[in-house]
Amino acid sequence: MISIDPAKSALEKLPHGPEFRFVDRVIEVDPGVRGVGLYTVRGDEVFLRGHFPGEPMMPGVLIIEAVAQLAGVVAQCDRRQQPLDGLKLTAVRAIKILGTARPGERITLRATVLARMGGLLQARVDASVGDRVVLQGEITLAGVVPR
């Protein structure tokens, strides 16, 4: 495990703007191996106005994005590998959306790197709210190995 500062730096280097980041804080990271992060649904996110009026909840696809961002942080702070340029989510496999999060709820995100080859990274991911698992599956991220 390393201190969280390199993880914070890796989060800031993801290609997303701050308004599309779904990891508030990385609380554990074993660089290149696994990580745990948190995202709290504040209630003022624009997407909640339409999903769903009068009964707001975090869309499952954004929970997938959140775990993908965490997986990117785990990969990008690995000191044994060169960070990938333009790292992006490119595939989802066997994803099960088992629930959601509502305003005021905190989502615990987990990502474990299964394999990395060149610019490809495969990870097992899950998300939970309290003791409820709300998402699980595997994702692939792709980026460009800098020359």
Please list the active-site residues: 51
Q: What is the DSSP string of 49-66?
A: GTS-TTS----HHHHHHH
The count of residues in the chain is 147
Phi, psi of 48 (to 5 degrees): -70, -25
User: Cis peptide before 22, with omega less than 30 degrees from 0?
Assistant: no
Which is nearest to 3 in space by CA: 28, 36, 33? 28
Half-sphere exposure in the Cβ direction for 133 (13 Å, CA): 9
**Distance between CA atoms of 32 and 22, rounded to whole angstroms?**
20
Residue 98 CB coordination number (10 Å): 13
